[in-house]
């Protein structure tokens, strides 16, 4: 009974703290929870690599370190860029560039919150889909060159396209337009 009361008290304090911190700042709520999500995802990837017994120990250590570096890069870029966009968007409201200086305090706070939330969503999409992959790949290439860790790729044979025999696909009966249209319509399920 005491444990249940204690857990209930902890949960209520946590809930009150979250509400107090984020009630008027949904943009910061989105920023913080997304950053926590990135951290948990990176931790999950690193743990999965580290405890995968199918991968030898040396490679596991390298891949776990790579996952940690990816996680730090992802979180730092996401948080830094998105926070800057939120701060800039809120500053535009303060200067009266977005909205009107004639708004009362509550209206200004609501406008800041809305503009900040849009900036937070834009920052998340922008960093996750454009900036982070490019920087992460550049960083990985730099680390590979510095450490000489191309072992995984160096062991695989290089196949030149000219060494692969070309055999055209022969279809005995032509495909109907209805079959082709059905194929292309249902072929949109593929994800890359």
- Report the number of distinct structural domains present in the chain: 1
Does a structural domain hold residue 5?
Answer: no
Does a structural domain hold residue 34?
Answer: yes
- pLDDT for position 192: 46
| pLDDT tens digits, one per residue of 161-182 | 555 565 666 656 666 777 766 6
Q: Determine the structural domain holding residue 119 and report its residue range.
A: 25-150
Does a structural domain hold residue 124?
Answer: yes
- pLDDT for position 57: 80
Does a structural domain hold residue 63?
Answer: yes
Does a structural domain hold residue 156?
Answer: no
Does a structural domain hold residue 93?
Answer: yes
| pLDDT tens digits, one per residue of 82-124 | 999 999 999 999 888 888 877 888 888 899 989 999 999 999 9
| pLDDT tens digits, one per residue of 127-151 | 988 898 888 878 777 776 776 655 5
Does a structural domain hold residue 174?
Answer: no
What DSSP letter does each residue of the chain carry, written as one string? -HHHHHHHHHHHHHHHHHHHHHTT-HHHHHHHHHHHHHHHHHHHHHHHHHT-TTS-HHHHHHHHHHHHHHHHHHHHHHHHHHHHHHHHHHHHHHTTSSS-TTS-HHHHHHHHHHHHHHHHHHHHHHIIIIIHHHHHHHHHHHHHHHHT--HHHHTSPP--GGGSPP-----SSPPPHHHHHHHHHHGGG---
Q: Mean pLDDT for the chain?
A: 79
Does a structural domain hold residue 157?
Answer: no
């Amino acid at each position: 009974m005491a444990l249940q009361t204690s857990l209930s008290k902890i949960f209520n304090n946590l809930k009150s703290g979250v509400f107090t911190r984020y009630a008027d700042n949904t943009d910061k709520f989105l920023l913080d929870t997304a950053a926590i999500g990135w951290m948990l995802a990176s931790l999950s990837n690193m743990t999965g690599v580290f405890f995968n017994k199918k991968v030898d120990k040396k490679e596991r250590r390298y891949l776990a370190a790579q996952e940690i570096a990816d996680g730090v890069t992802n979180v730092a870029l996401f948080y830094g860029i998105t926070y800057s966009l939120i701060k800039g968007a809120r500053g535009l409201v303060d200067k009266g560039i977005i909205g009107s200086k004639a708004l009362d305090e509550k209206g200004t706070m609501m406008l800041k919150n809305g503009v900040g939330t849009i900036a937070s969503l834009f920052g998340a999409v922008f960093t996750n889909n454009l900036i982070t992959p490019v920087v992460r790949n550049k960083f990985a290439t730099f680390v590979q060159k510095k450490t000489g860790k191309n072992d995984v790729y160096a062991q695989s044979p290089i196949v030149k396209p000219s060494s692969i025999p070309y055999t055209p696909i022969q279809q005995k009966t032509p495909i109907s337009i209805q079959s082709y249209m059905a194929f292309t319509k249902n072929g949109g399920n593929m994800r890359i």
